A and B are shown apart, each in its own frame.
Chain A
Amino acid sequence: MDIVLHYKDGQGRLNDLLLATKNALEEFPCRVLPVFKPWFPSGLDRSLPIKPRNAPPVISSENFEEFRRCKCQSSFQDLVSSPQNGDCAADPKKIEVTSLREAARNTEASDRQGQSRDASKTCKRSWSVISQTVKSMDSTQSFSRRFHKIIERHRLHLHQRAKWIIRDFNCDRIEDSWVKLSRAISHSRLPTCNANFQRSLAQIWVYCDVFYCEYVGNFLKQELKLTGSIVLAVHKLGSILRL
């Protein structure tokens, strides 16, 4: 590449001009800029999603075996003594008889298989018996202000079913509480209630209409002498009240 330098006389010495031209033709230095790192919050918070703090349950192989056993047991009990089970629902005594007969049969079968421990568990009833004689309750029953707000907030229907959960730490002996509760239900002291003893979870689930929830909750706490708080749960909403 040829370069022609035009200059006027009297603009300095030729050597100086040549040197300046040579310098000007040298490669322009490029400085590599460091990566930009903002010191202020970078909007990371915006890009990060949210998640539940609690981890989902881990079901190990031991848990799974336990679950499978309980599932078999509960499906058996549902079949035998569920209140929705056809004719049995109409006759509570029949439930008991059927249930006991089935349980006895089950015990025999289990004994044959050398599983006496499991058999003794299935002998215990897990569903409460509902009495057919319904005592009339005060139709003008009122709720507390707090419960009224909960009903409004979640738009609950008064005949919607809700579930009180009694855990083992709420009572001295959960089996004793279950016996008392079953007796109270069969004597119609708990309107619209039926109950289920989830032995695998060490929990008693007491189902009732939303309308009677508060009454039932207070009854359970007083009559069963429960300590700590019990939880009221509604399907899909989860727990809505602690008493």
Chain B
Amino acid sequence: MMTTLTRQDLNFGQVVADILCEFLEVAIHLILYVREVYPSGIFQKRKKYNVPVQMSCHPELNQYIQDTLHCVKPLIEKNEAEKVVVVIMDKEHHPVERFVFEISQPPLLSISSETLLSHVEQLLRAVILKISVCDAVLENNPPGCTFTVLVHTREAATRNMEKVQVIKDFPWIVADEQEVHMTEPRLIPLKTMTSDIVKMQLYVEERAQKAS
């Protein structure tokens, strides 16, 4: 049975935000594993979307990722997040890789429970599989890399500050320009997905000269 809903319908935004944040959590863990930002020993193999994924079991890191996504959720819920970017930075805090998740949500939706449960899951699974093999098309990162999560909003960043300050001890700031811009990046498209509830494309921007 098909039902037409608008974004204003009760809980719809929340459903999309739940699905996306859950996906982003899995994706971030996997990126950190595949790109060797953390020692592989802190990761454990789990199953999500019916495929094997690597999830960190380090409590501090897990809490950090959870807190980040918990703050991003209200923006996704209101369709105000345009891009969520996982930036891997070298020791000097210059980006070497940017995993860009471009998100767009249609204003009118035709959804059924079947669509939500199986089709979207299949699409997300395909994105996860692409992330798990992306090291084949990327150069090795220099040692000592760290990461951050950037959120590009549809409106001015400062206008969205209040919305993301959900957790008291987890403040948000406007990113530095040096963390955002990369000189002569190489663009590597990984996957696009189009479903009734969300459209997403994932690509990587890779710095041409990684060894600084």
Contact = CB atoms under 8 A, between A and B. Distances in A.
B24 interface: no
Interface of B: 38-39, 41-42, 57-61, 63-68, 70-71, 83, 85, 146-153, 155-158, 160-161, 164, 167-175, 177, 179-180
A67 B58 contact: yes
Interface string A28-65: 00000000000000001110111111111111010010
Given A48-B180, A59-B39, A237-B70, A54 B171 contact: yes
B41 A51 contact: no
Contacts, number: 101
Contacts of A242: 168
28 contacts: A45-B156, A45-B157, A46-B155, A48-B177, A49-B83, A49-B85, A49-B153, A50-B150, A50-B157, A50-B160, A50-B164, A50-B172, A51-B150, A51-B151, A51-B175, A51-B179, A52-B64, A52-B67, A52-B148, A52-B170, A52-B173, A53-B172, A55-B148, A61-B39, A64-B42, A67-B41, A238-B63, A238-B67
A194 B4 CA distance: 46
Contact of B172 (A48, A52, A238): A52
Contacts of A55: 146, 148
B42 A46 contact: no
Interface of A: 44-46, 48-59, 61, 64, 67-68, 71, 198, 201, 236-239, 242
A44 B171 CA distance: 21
A51 B38 contact: no
Given A56-B146, A59-B42, A50 B168 contact: no
B61 A56 contact: yes
A71 B61 CA distance: 14
